[in-house]
Structures are given as structure tokens and as C-alpha cells.
Amino acid sequence: MEGSFKHKLPLPLVLLSFLIHFSGIISINARGLSKQGTLNKNISALLVFGDSTVDSGNNNFVSTAFKSNFQPYGREFPNQIPTGRFTDGRLCTDFIASYVGIKEDVPPYLDPTLSMRELMTGVSFASAGTGYDPLTPTLGNVIPISKQLEYFRDYKKRLESSTGKQRTKAHIKNALFVVSAGTNDFVVNYFALPTRRKSYTVSSYQQFLLQQCKELIQGLWEEGARNILVAGLPPMGCLPTVITLFSSTTTVIDHLQRGCLEQYSSVARDYNRLLQNDLNFMQLSLASHGARIFYLDIYGPLIRMIEEHESFGFVETNVGCCGTGYLESSILCNPTSYVCSDASKYVFWDSIHPTEKTYYNLFKGTFRPIIDVIISN
């Protein structure tokens, strides 16, 4: 099966992928979704782990090329500020926080200016370019998942020094945890590079990543987490950069022929099925101890937006709004890049990450129903 995933592009083009940050698709756009005048009593904070889909700017404080703290990123963010979020506006975690009424934007944990109030209501430990596989973050010198868990332990100590151990324990128990990672592992570390393919079949690599994911969830559980949402993979074969890197040259340059690559999306579907089964098993095992573990379906809503794009008001589904939309992301999407005039017509902002409009549809279809269950119970 490995032979099905060998790149078909000239080496110089493939090398460009090192400058591109691949990530999963899990974000929302939901301005005005916070509950009017009501402070949610069931969720004390939002604590976030993963890759660029939930990194609100931690990479600004890391020596890495995987940054987005420059225009045109942040074009739809309040005051058009490029914060380090890999989109034109807000991430799903920002608007989850807004929806439950705890804050408007989730700041990066590494921001040294954060107040105790900002810390208490939620932060993101995520890092663009990372993955479950410990090898993945080394490719871009970003923050490993294991280090994000260490940062969370440090976070707890900071809260304990301010509010005491018992209050911190209750605070963490009532916090909402969101985990989003995995696409970098497959797209960069497995499909584009040969190292992991030499040691793993697709199936065994899926199992390896699932084990790493479960270890993170177990680590969060041991630190007091009780409400954990874990995102599945997007239809990876539909990411514009995947279409570009792994299609024939003719397909790449012919806009009308560009389409999702089924062999890569099928890997995501298989992984998601296994992930959902593992999460269900963990839920059953830990339910008596108060755990609530939820699977977030990203694949279904996103593939519907692509396949039924007209009903969602989209025009472009296979290129991003920034630059040519074929390969640009991170430093390749910069202040000198061409940018489309109306990003709401695009499913993707750059060649990997969705637009706010796409994020909003994902929020409505996947996040909000689960959050409503947590709030109501």
C-alpha cells in the first residue's frame, strides 16, 4: 500500500512542502454566538492542545518558520490583527469560548503578558506544525504534544499558587479540553517524506498515532480533565496543497480538473473510524469516574461543503484565497501575496486552512451540539 503514496511532482516542488505547514481542519467562525448576558456556569475554562487548527499564536514565541503573525493572516480578526492564527480570522476555540460566555478569544499560553484572569478562563498550548508522532514537530522545530502536556502541568501550578489546590482541582474538572492534531503526521511525515513509510504501513502508522493520542488523553485525565473533545481528521485528499503535491502535473495546473484525491481521504476515514472506536472504549472505561470524551466529526461537514458547495454559497473549493491557492501557507502567504477579494466564497483561506465561513459551518454542525450537551448536564 505504501507505493500508492509516492509523490508525483518534481523534487523542487516537493521541497516546497517543507515551507508549508500542514494541519487538520478544525475551526469555526461564530462572531456574536456568545450567550447574551449569561455567564455559563458549567464550563470554567477552555484548554486547547494540538496543531495550527487551534494554535492562537504560540509559535510566535518559538524559533520556527511556521508562523502566521503577519498579513494577510488575521484580515477578518478584530482590528485586522495577524495574531499567529492560521486563518483570516478566529479559530473554533475562540468562538467556543465566546459561545459559552467565558471570553472572546483564547490566547496562546506562551504569551508572557497574560494576566491570571486570562490564564484561568483558558489558553491554547497548541503549536502549528506539530503532531501526535514525536518526529513530526522536529521537522519544523515546533512544540511537541508531550511538551504541551508539560505546559499544562505548569499552568496548573500557576493556578494553584494563586487560588489553592482545591479550587484549581475543581476548576480543571469543569474545564473543557479540545484536542486537534494528526494531519501533519500523515501529510508531511508519512506521505511526503520516506522515513516513516520505511518503518510503517498505513495501517500500522494509524495505530501508532492512535496510541499517541490515547496517551495524551490519559495524561489529561490524570491531571484532572473530565470533559475532552477530540477532533478527527479532515478529508486530507481535498486539501489544496495535497491536490497540488500528489496529483499529476496536468491536473495541478488545470483548475477545472483539480479535485479531491480519494486515496488520501480514505486514509482519514479509516483513521477516524478507529479513533471513534477508541474514544468510545475510553469513555466506557472512565465514565464511572465522571469522564466525558467526545469525538468531533470534521470529515463529514467539510466534505459536504466541498461536494455541495453551491448550497453553502462557496465558489472555490480546491484552491485557497491567498496567492495561487495551490501551495501557499505560512511564509508563502505573506504581505506581498495576492489575496482574493471575498474569502467567504472560498472553503480554504490558504492551501491548508479553512476560511472563517467554513469554520462557522463546522461549528454549527459539529461543535455546538456537543457543547450544548455538556452545558445542559
List, by residue number, the catalytic residues: 52, 350, 353
Beta strands in the chain (DSSP E): 46-50, 122-124, 176-180, 227-231, 292-296, 316-320, 346-348
Quick check: 40 and 97 in contact, CB under 8 A? no
Tell me which residue has cell 501526535. 132
Cα-trace Rg, the chain: 19
CA dihedral 321, 258, 203, 184 (to 10 degrees): -20
- As a whole number of angstroms, the distance between CA 353 and CA 348 comes to 6
Q: How far apart are the first and last CA of the chain?
A: 45
Q: 6, exposed or middle or buried, with CB in 10 Å at 0-12, 13-18, 19+?
A: exposed
Which residue, among 359, 269, 377, 352, has the nearest Cα to 19 in the 3D structure? 352
User: Which residues, other chains included, contact 11 with Cβ-Cβ below 8 Å and sequence gap of 6+?
Assistant: none
- Partners of 50 in the beta sheet? 180
Peptide bond into 72 cis (omega under 30): yes
- In angstroms, rounded to a whole number, what is the distance separating the alpha carbons of residues 329 and 128? 11
